[in-house]
Amino acid sequence: MDIPEQYRAEVERFPAVLLALLAAELAAGNGIAELGHGFPAAPCGAYVLLKAPVTTRPRAQDAEIDFYDYNTRTHSGRFSDAKKHFFILEPPHGPGLTFPPEPMTPSDGELAGRFHESMAVDYDKWHDGIGYDLAAIRDANEDELEAIERMVLANSPRGWRDVEAMAVLNTPRMIRELRAILKGGDNQLKQAVDRYAPDLMTKQSRTATLVRALEESVIYGGLTQALDDLPDFHPPEAVEALFRGALRREGEVAVHFAAMLYYLHGKAKEPFDWGHRPFYLRFHAPVGPEREAVFRELCATIGVDAERYLGE
């Protein structure tokens, strides 16, 4: 496979199915426009942006490769394996991309209608983490607030945007809904309550929610938010969960846990310090002797006894 030298080391980390696709494209005359580690790839992964659309296989999902055509300003087709940490991306389809909102429905006022339009989440809103139109809530009259409440209550499945809107509405009915979320089993929604209505949570419940996310969640499935919260809120139980996860969780998660432990112990300048990335990536090693060896190195660097975790 004729890969430019500056890309070779990173490309060789790609899963076999994506390497085969890239090899076929390069052989067919396509080229690499860019290699990066940002969205949609997690820091532990990478993406390759091609110069031209893929022609050597159908632009469709099959048993080995996931495919989605997002038609964004940065890329269009997106090929990945099941873990979705590495991607082959196609260039954008063209300029002037738009994402029209869903058709408006009859509403109880102009601001309620504006809020309803904002509930249509396109790719850019999802990508950039843009919530609903909260200004419409703040400017709404009593009748419009009633209409907005009904929209939020009816929305399904719920996500962090709904929780944020509930917190801004801050009516007795919305407070009851937020408290019901805290009593339920959806940990991602509980994390959203922690972010947007923290006064409803005790330190004990906040800690329990964070620890559960660190133990069970995956990247882009609640774990990213948990990692974002840790610099400002890292009770001992959460730090213990980071150590256990760095030792025993799947590699792509252990990489981020090792990075966060470096940061929380003053050995890194930021939560994922790219200067230490080669060391973090060693946590991709399978759980066992190789992972234990790099875990010992981490503990020695930050001044923690590794044996207390290795002996569990």
Crossing angle of helices 110-118/142-154, nearest 10°?
Answer: 30
Is there a single domain that holds both residue 85 and residue 105?
A: no
- Residue 62, classified by CB atoms within 10 Å of its CB into exposed (0-12), middle (13-18) or buried (19+), is exposed
Domain presence at residue 68:
yes
For residues 87 and 47, the answer to whether their CB atoms sit within 8 Å is yes
Residue where a domain terminates, one of 201, 226, 252: 201
Domain extent, residue 226, equals: 216-312
What pLDDT score was predicted for residue 103? 43
Residue where a domain terminates, one of 50, 69, 89: 89
Is there a single domain that holds both residue 194 and residue 220?
A: no
Strand order through the sheet with 86-89:
32-36, 46-50, 86-89, 77-80, 66-69
pLDDT digit string, tens, across residues 4-40: 777 778 888 899 999 999 988 888 888 888 888 777 7
Is there a single domain that holds both residue 169 and residue 242?
A: no
**How many domains does the chain fold into?**
3
Is there a single domain that holds both residue 227 and residue 303?
A: yes
Distance CA 136, CA 132 (A): 9
For residues 227 and 191, the answer to whether their CB atoms sit within 8 Å is no
Residue where a domain terminates, one of 60, 89, 118: 89
Buried b (16+ CB within 10 A) or exposed e, 189-211: bbbbbbebbeebbeeeebbebbb
Domain presence at residue 82:
yes
Domain presence at residue 156:
yes
Domain presence at residue 211:
no
What pLDDT score was predicted for residue 101? 39
Domain presence at residue 234:
yes
How far does Cα 208 stand from its chain's mean position? 20
Domain presence at residue 95:
no
Domain presence at residue 73:
yes
For residues 168 and 134, the answer to whether their CB atoms sit within 8 Å is yes
Is there a single domain that holds both residue 303 and residue 247?
A: yes
Q: Which residue has the tokens 């939560």?
A: 271
What pLDDT score was predicted for residue 102? 41
Is there a single domain that holds both residue 38 and residue 73?
A: yes
Is there a single domain that holds both residue 56 and residue 114?
A: no
Dihedral in degrees, nearest 10, Cα atoms 11, 13, 17, 22: 0
Is there a single domain that holds both residue 111 and residue 195?
A: yes
- Residue 132, classified by CB atoms within 10 Å of its CB into exposed (0-12), middle (13-18) or buried (19+), is buried
Is there a single domain that holds both residue 22 and residue 109?
A: no
Is there a single domain that holds both residue 133 and residue 174?
A: yes
Query: pLDDT tens per residue, the chain (312 residues)?
Result: 567 777 778 888 899 999 999 988 888 888 888 888 777 776 678 899 998 899 999 988 888 898 888 766 677 889 998 888 889 999 887 544 444 434 444 445 788 888 988 988 776 777 678 899 999 999 999 889 999 999 998 887 888 999 999 999 999 999 999 999 999 888 889 999 999 999 999 999 999 999 999 998 887 678 888 999 999 999 999 999 999 999 999 998 999 999 999 999 999 999 999 999 999 999 999 999 999 999 999 999 999 999 999 986
Q: How far lies 207's CA from each of 64, 188, 203, 222, 260, in Å? A: 38, 14, 6, 15, 17
Is there a single domain that holds both residue 79 and residue 104?
A: no
Distance CA 139, CA 22 (A): 51
Domain presence at residue 208:
no
Is there a single domain that holds both residue 182 and residue 129?
A: yes
